[in-house]
Amino acid sequence: MLINNKSIAIVGGGPGGLTLARLLQLKGADVKVYERDFDKNARVQGSPLDLHDRSGLAAIRKAELLEEFKNNFLPGADKKLIMNERAEIFFSDHDTKVEENFGHEYFRPEIDRGTLRKILLESLQPGTVVWNSHFISIEKENGGWNLYFKNGSSAYADIVIASDGANSKIRPYITDIKAFYSGVIMLEGNISNAKETAPNINALLKGGKIMAFGNGKNLLMGQKGNGDIGFYASFKADESWSSTNGLDYSNKEQVLEWFKINYPEWNHIWYELFKNSEVPFIPRPIYCMPFDQTWETLPNLTMIGDAAHVMPPFAGEGANMAMLDALELSECLTSEKYGSLTSAISAYEKNMQTMASIAAKESLENGELMHSENALATMLEFFNRH
């Protein structure tokens, strides 16, 4: 096996990085995951994600974690309401959705990100994740790499894999190709104990999702397994909006006033989101990698997930693609059919670039449709057809 007697460093402990570590450890590899978080409880994880049969779920099955996943996913969390800005319901599958199950090609079970992370963390050998390891730089040494971290520590690895997200600090060592701005900003909020703090929205959600469209803007929200609600105000704006709008993201009253001014036609029921959100709100400019990106393969340095192919979230492919990358890279690194690490990594990268290009195009097109003046009609047509 090409990675026999090789030390592997994965930088970033998101779904992709942890899945890759699990898959490689099942093959006997020597793996460490370097994660910038201080510990496993350092951050509130984002909204639930849905796993797709041929990507995220395929990786879960290969990682021998399907039964644990089944014990922790959120039945019914994929049910949805499509509404307009006045909070009128135009589509609901709460009473009509055909019950699907594992093994069904279009079944996309939802799971809290924090729960998925816990499942993956607990599947790893003790000491695999090195917390409080904020990556700063790498340099070549003895055919491998020395990694340097903000806390002053360093580590050596024969192979380094970047799983450090859209703002990857390792990516520039591989390619100078940069992501482009999609034109969309998503302002993120989170409501704790929504049954008590946001009872009207909570009653509408009924454990599922809401997609509200109006005037070229969106509100997107979903119920988390712990009773929280994660939500996004999504709209088109200049790339510099996050830093030039004058908002104090820790001031709920100020952000609510911004919503009232910029979403003037929207029903007062939506105000409940902003009045009861935790602070700070988080602005997220949405980026996408060029569809035709390629680079010269390196023999011991590559990347997965958003580090390799950040894309808009409007097709639900982000975490799924990262986990599929993990699956396919692990297969290439442990296959007997490649004569060198370079050829194994090259095979992975070429396939990953092709698949990511297809997914990115779909995500970008969906984002345009969702922020068009006809978004409601377009989305209704899509969901009624499917």
Rg (CA), the chain: 21
Q: What are phi and psi of 308, to 5 degrees?
A: -90, -35
In angstroms, the CA 218 to CA 203 distance is 20
Which whole-number Å values give the CA distances from 10 to 17, 96, 155, 341, in the listed order? 6, 43, 11, 16
**Pick from 185, 370, 371, 201: nearest CA to 277:** 201
Which whole-number Å values give the CA distances from 214 to 130, 179, 237, 381, in the listed order? 45, 28, 16, 16
State yes or no: 113 annotated in a binding site.
Answer: yes
Residue 329 three-state SS:
helix
Amino acid at 324: L
Q: What is the edge-to-edge ordering of all strands in the sheet holding 159-162? A: 129-130, 30-34, 7-11, 159-162, 301-303
Instruction: Return the DSSP state at 341.
Output: H
In angstroms, the CA 77 to CA 227 distance is 12
In angstroms, the CA 87 to CA 29 distance is 52
∠ Cα 364 367 368 (to 5°): 90
State yes or no: 164 annotated in a binding site.
Answer: no
**Pick from 210, 228, 207, 206: nearest CA to 218:** 210
| Residue ranges of the binding site for NADPH | 43
| Residue ranges of the binding site | 43, 50, 113, 306
| Residue ranges of the binding site for FAD | 50, 113, 306
